[in-house]
Amino acid sequence: MRLRRPLSRSRRVPFRPRRGPSRSRLRRDDRGSSVVELAVLAPGFLMIIMLIVQFGLWFNARQAALAAAQAGAQVARENAAMTANWPGLAEQASSNYYDTLNTSLLGSLTATVSGNPANQVYVTVSGPMGYSVFNFFGIKWTITETAGGPVECFRPAGAAGACG
């Protein structure tokens, strides 16, 4: 039987199995990659957010214009059969309704009336958008909405179908 000699303290080396590159070395190589990814992706994310906000502004302006056109169309339908000044009343009703919304989504409001006062009348409201996220591109957004319908009139039985 052979006796083992104890090793001196200076020659003792702890056993470490070889596993390839250490984890701390891999972590050190990946440092800063998140910042680079953010710098590359952030403009795209900001553009998507700006598009979503612009769509919301456009949709809200469109709804405001449609509501104003419907208010004017209601007045036009009620007054076209009996009043000669029905276009002015309808345009004024559209403008007043838009003013009561207390919004500046449209820069200016233009209401135009069309149609035959004996059958169908229409009110078209249009105007440029007051706000835009993409002003630096010089894009001009114009909103146009139309509402209308048949003229309402009271037809007494003895009038042979004529309004009035």
Condensed to tens digits (0 to 9), the pLDDT of residues 137-153 reads: 788 889 999 999 999 87
Contact 73, 90 (CB under 8 A): yes
Task: Please tell me the distance from the alpha carbon of residue 6 to that of residue 119, in angstroms, as a whole number.
Answer: 116
Give the pLDDT confidence of 35-79 residue by residue, as tens digits.
Answer: 888 888 999 999 999 999 999 999 999 999 999 999 999 999 999
Q: What is the pLDDT of residue 132?
A: 85
The model's pLDDT over 107-126, given as tens digits with 9 standing for 90+, comes to 889 999 999 888 899 999 99
CA 142, 143, 149, 152 torsion-angle sign = negative
Residue 141 CB coordination number (10 Å): 18
Domain ranges of the chain: 33-159
Mean pLDDT of 72-98: 93
Which of 144, 123, 142 lies closest to 132 in space, CA to CA? 142
Mean pLDDT of 14-32: 64
Strand residue runs (E) in the chain? 110-115, 120-128, 142-150
Structure tokens at 89: 């009343």
Non-local (6+) Cβ contacts of 102 within 8 A are none
For helices 33-79 and 86-100, give the axis angle rounded to 10 degrees.
150
Q: In the 8-state DSSP scheme, what is residue 159?
A: G
> Would strands 110-115 and 142-150 be described as parallel, antiparallel, or unpaired?
unpaired
